[in-house]
Copies of this chain bind each other. A is one copy, B any other.
Amino acid sequence: MQEGQLAQRLNKVETSAIRELFKLLGKPGIISFAGGFPDSALFDVAGLQTASQQALAQEPSAALQYGATEGYQPLREQIAQFMQAKGVPTLAAQDLIITTGSQQALDLIGKCLIDEGDKVIVEGPTFLATIQCFRLYGAEVISAPIDAEGMQIDKLEQLIIEHRPKLIYTIPTFGNPSGATLSLERRQRLLALAMRYQVLIVEDDPYGDLYFDAPPPPSLLALSAQIPGSRDFLAHCGSLSKVLSPGLRIGWLIAPPALLAKAVMCKQFSDAHTSTFAQATAAHYLAAGHMPAALAKVRKVYAQRAQVMMQALREELGDAVAFTAPQGGLFLWLRLTGANGKLTDAAELAKRAIEQGVAFVPGAPFFSQNPDPTSLRLSFATVNEEKIREGVRCLAKALA
């Protein structure tokens, strides 16, 4: 194999930024705010054990044989019910397909829609793997600015007019890495923009169930019921990864029928279907009605950890950092203010922080354009409260 034999699309993807992140994650014994994981100590192992045993005992051949590319029908029905309970009453099983994690839903969208040179608008900052996934299909990725209320719709409209994008990708609720949540009014305006400019919105919603106090505004998918015609310009990616278990690799894609049919075709040639073993297990778990209790538990723990982290940051770092309190999710997004001459380079801080025994991810790689070098992402999800306080003290030392 020579380098020259590789496909040209690989030249589109910068791996160095990712490698840097992984280097930071790898060091043992360190307090890590770097991950994007849920806390495995919160997994409902007993519930999943029962579910998997039921799946194998009651329907061994469905759970172990090849299955439909669209997904295992009982799981599609359970997910439709799950979405109905989240304010999408008109959703039926045939409106969604099961994907191998929501990452595959993004990959299928890219494969179905993006031609070489197509423009795609994402939030600046956004989920790194989405940028790379779309670039592999030839996309030029444009960054739309966000503030505490998510994408700035006026500026987004200018970018749409200027670039005529193939699609707009957004994590409107408890965004990764920003933690920001798009306000209700902006959600309505975003759907109106989609219709006006006939551009597809891709709503990625892995975190929406992880709210702290009150539920977030309705998803774009739920809202689309109130804005006739808007559903024709909306794809929605969901996932059990953050709320039940990433290891199952169960995600789903809801999209206009023509796009969904093409996504099924592409999925057939990508992995034939998502593990029926994992799908049948998830279907039994959901059917047993465990989800509300499991969600209540993780919401409470993450809310508490977020509070502890914010309190510690205010006490230990004061005005050297600025952040908006997230209302849910896994992430806290900071800016280094430079107050009192303190460091403003988050990449440099990351190196010093490792030496002090704490890891986090600098924010710049999350931007497809115009990176903010003062930004960084902290995850509060996988560290207990005592270790959060200790980690923030290490961070303060690194900044001192």
CB within 8 Å of B: which residues of A? 1-3, 5-10, 13, 15, 18, 37-38, 40-41, 43, 45, 48-49, 52-53, 56-57, 60-67, 99-101, 103-104, 106-107, 111-115, 129, 132-133, 136-137, 166, 198, 200, 232-233, 241, 245-249, 255-256, 258-259, 262, 265-266, 268-278, 280-281
Contacts and interface: CB of A to CB of B under 8 A. Distances in A.
Contacts of A275: 100, 247-249, 275, 277-278
B60 A40 contact: yes
Contact of A107 (B38, B61, B265, B271): B271
A200 B5 contact: yes
Contact of A6 (B3, B113, B272): B113
B273 A129 contact: no
A265 B14 CA distance: 10
A60 B43 contact: yes
A61 B40 contact: yes
Nearest to A133: B269
A15 B100 CA distance: 22
A247 B49 contact: no
Nearest to A241: B66
A246 B65 contact: yes
The 4 closest A-B pairs by CB, nearest first: A247-B276, A40-B61, A133-B269, A64-B245
A218 to B, nearest CB: 22
A45 B40 contact: no
B129 A269 contact: yes
Residue among A2, A103, A271, A276 facing the most chain B CB atoms (10 A cut-off): A271
A248 B53 contact: no
Given A56-B45, A103-B270, A271-B103, A232 B1 contact: yes
Q: Is the interface of A mostly helix, strand, loop or mixed?
A: helix
Contacts of A266: 10, 136
A106 to B, nearest CB: 8
Contact of A113 (B7, B40, B63): B7
Contact of A7 (B1, B65, B137, B246): B137
A166 to B, nearest CB: 7
B45 A64 contact: yes
B10 A112 contact: yes
A98 to B, nearest CB: 12
B66 A37 contact: yes
Nearest to A129: B269
Contacts of A64: 40, 43, 45, 48, 245-248
Contacts of A112: 6-7, 10
A245 B115 contact: no
Contacts of A281: 277
Contact of A245 (B18, B246, B277): B277
A15 B265 contact: yes
A43 B62 CA distance: 11
Nearest to A99: B271
Given A114-B7, A265-B15, A270 B273 contact: no
A28 to B, nearest CB: 15
30 contacts: A1-B259, A5-B200, A7-B112, A10-B262, A10-B265, A10-B266, A13-B265, A13-B269, A37-B65, A40-B60, A43-B64, A48-B56, A49-B53, A49-B56, A49-B57, A65-B245, A65-B246, A66-B241, A66-B246, A99-B271, A100-B100, A101-B271, A104-B271, A129-B269, A133-B269, A248-B275, A249-B273, A275-B275, A277-B278, A278-B278
